[in-house]
């Protein structure tokens, strides 16, 4: 039995006060509940954000959109402004989890989910630096087929599992955080798992105005078609006349912006050969292990295909 307190916040102020006292936020609960069950967290108190009025999609003065942090993934993917204005995000959400989970899951909860590394999710007592710092990283010599190949840390090689985060990175979205120090906005980028400070809550995700005439495509490769986490995913934004924006998922500790490949492609037509060479340059920095070496070529091929489909 794990005793903990629970309170439902009726306002953002109430939620922030609870978070400042150390309460763990819970929104859809599709991550937090398994964490409680598996002993990954043992909070003294939970603060339930699910009834906060933070689930709207609104137009911003610069023409972009503000997506409420507690908006459910299914509602976002079906929202007319998202479908028409941010089809890349709608595609990424459609590829994430199952319909039942998308109906429970919130946008912020999805971005702040933890790795699916089997050691992290195993019971207490299994070594894992992320769960118990200093206990080691058995994935390096053990099960690492789904682990990261880019941006590796010394102590942990886990990949971030969110699909929407990959689309949001390519769209240059920002997380809006409220906390004891006020409000701040940070890009949806590689350090997603560490971006929220103590006592902070995500209130929204801001999207800039869409680039005129941009072609977009999200693709995901997984072991199981029904629903599964990405082995590799990619999001491609090809603005008319502007530099491409490319992001990968399943390969790094967060969504991975392909800055090297983007630089190689800037000012040139994104022909399949050029995209392949640009992605090979991007993946030159990869440090795969034996069982996840396949991700290198898979990432190259997936982006080539996504660009082709975006332009088709």
Q: Which residue ranges make up the site for ligand SF4 (CB under 6 A)?
A: 115, 117, 119-120, 128-130, 137-139, 147, 156-158
Least separation in angstroms between residue 116's CB and ligand SF4 is 9
Phi, psi of 175 (to 5 degrees): -85, 135
User: Both tokens of residue 61?
Assistant: 């003065």
Cβ proximity to ligand FAD, 57 vs 112, nearer residue: 112
Q: How far apart are CA 6 and CA 141, in angstroms?
A: 40
> Of 247, 260, 226, nearest to 99 (Cα)?
226
Least separation in angstroms between residue 263's CB and ligand FAD is 28
Q: Select the binding partner of residue 97 from ligand SF4, ligand FAD, none (C-beta < 5 to 8 A, by kind).
A: ligand FAD
- Interface residue list for ligand FAD (CB under 6 A): 24-32, 49, 69, 96-97, 101, 104-106, 108-110, 112-113, 161-164, 196, 201-202, 227, 229
Cβ proximity to ligand SF4, 251 vs 307, nearer residue: 251
Least separation in angstroms between residue 153's CB and ligand SF4 is 8
Q: Select the binding partner of residue 91 from ligand FAD, ligand SF4, none (C-beta < 5 to 8 A, by kind).
A: none
Cβ proximity to ligand FAD, 73 vs 214, nearer residue: 73
Exposed/middle/buried for 61, CB within 10 Å: 0-12, 13-18, 19+?
Answer: exposed
Least separation in angstroms between residue 105's CB and ligand FAD is 3
Cβ proximity to ligand SF4, 210 vs 255, nearer residue: 255
Least separation in angstroms between residue 268's CB and ligand FAD is 32
Cβ proximity to ligand FAD, 151 vs 255, nearer residue: 255
Least separation in angstroms between residue 226's CB and ligand FAD is 10
Q: Select the binding partner of residue 157 from ligand SF4, ligand FAD, none (C-beta < 5 to 8 A, by kind).
A: ligand SF4
Three-state SS sequence of 259-277: HHHHHHHCCCCCCHHHHHH
Q: Select the binding partner of residue 115 from ligand SF4, ligand FAD, none (C-beta < 5 to 8 A, by kind).
A: ligand SF4
DSSP 5-42: EEEE-SSHHHHHHHHHTTPEEESS-TTHHHHHHHTS--
**What is the helix (H) or strand (E) element at residue 75, kind and residue range?**
helix 73-78
Cβ proximity to ligand SF4, 26 vs 147, nearer residue: 147
Q: Select the binding partner of residue 126 from ligand SF4, ligand FAD, none (C-beta < 5 to 8 A, by kind).
A: none
Are 140 and 292 within 8 A, CB to CB?
Answer: no
Q: Select the binding partner of residue 129 from ligand FAD, ligand SF4, none (C-beta < 5 to 8 A, by kind).
A: ligand SF4
Least separation in angstroms between residue 212's CB and ligand FAD is 29
Residue listed under structure tokens 């940070």: 186
Q: How far apart are CA 31 and CA 34, in angstroms?
A: 6
Least separation in angstroms between residue 205's CB and ligand FAD is 10
Q: Select the binding partner of residue 146 from ligand SF4, ligand FAD, none (C-beta < 5 to 8 A, by kind).
A: none
Cβ proximity to ligand SF4, 137 vs 237, nearer residue: 137
Q: How far apart are CA 199 and CA 181, in angstroms?
A: 9
Cβ proximity to ligand SF4, 158 vs 166, nearer residue: 158
List all residues 6 or more positions away from 271 whose beta carbon is below 8 Å from its beta carbon: none
Cα distance between the two ends of the chain: 56
Spacing of C-alpha 11 from chain mean position: 26
Phi, psi of 265 (to 5 degrees): -95, -10
Spacing of C-alpha 216 from chain mean position: 18
**What is the helix (H) or strand (E) element at residue 279, kind and residue range?**
helix 272-283
């Amino acid at each position: 039995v794990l005793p903990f307190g629970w309170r439902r916040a009726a306002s953002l102020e109430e939620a922030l006060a609870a978070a400042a006292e150390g309460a763990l936020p819970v929104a859809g609960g599709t991550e937090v509940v398994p964490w409680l069950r598996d002993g990954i967290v043992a909070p003294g108190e939970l603060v339930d954000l699910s009834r906060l009025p933070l689930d709207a999609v609104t137009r911003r003065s610069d023409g972009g959109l503000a997506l409420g942090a507690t908006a459910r993934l299914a509602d976002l993917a079906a929202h007319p402004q998202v479908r028409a204005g941010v089809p890349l995000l709608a595609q990424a959400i459609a590829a994430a989890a199952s319909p039942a989970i998308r109906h429970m899951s919130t946008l912020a909860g999805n971005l702040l989910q933890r790795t699916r590394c089997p050691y992290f999710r195993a019971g207490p007592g299994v070594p894992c630096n992320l769960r118990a710092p200093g206990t080691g990283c058995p994935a390096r010599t053990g099960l690492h087929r789904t682990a990261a190949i880019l941006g590796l840390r010394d102590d942990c090689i886990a990949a971030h599992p969110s699909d929407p985060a990959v689309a949001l990175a390519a769209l240059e979205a920002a997380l809006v955080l409220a906390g004891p120090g006020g409000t701040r906005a940070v890009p949806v980028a590689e350090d997603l798992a560490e971006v929220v400070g103590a006592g902070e809550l995500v209130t929204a995700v801001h999207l800039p105005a869409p680039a005129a005439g941009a072609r977009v495509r999200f693709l995901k490769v997984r072991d199981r078609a029904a629903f599964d986490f990405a082995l590799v995913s990619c999001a491609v934004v090809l603005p008319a006349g502007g530099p491409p924006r490319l992001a990968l998922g399943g390969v790094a500790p967060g969504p991975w912006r392909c800055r090297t490949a983007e630089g190689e492609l800037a000012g040139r037509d994104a022909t399949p050969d050029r995209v392949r060479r640009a992605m090979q340059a991007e993946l030159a920095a990869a440090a795969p292990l034996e069982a996840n070496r396949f991700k290198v070529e898979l990432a190259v091929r997936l982006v080539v295909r996504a660009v082709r489909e975006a332009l088709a």
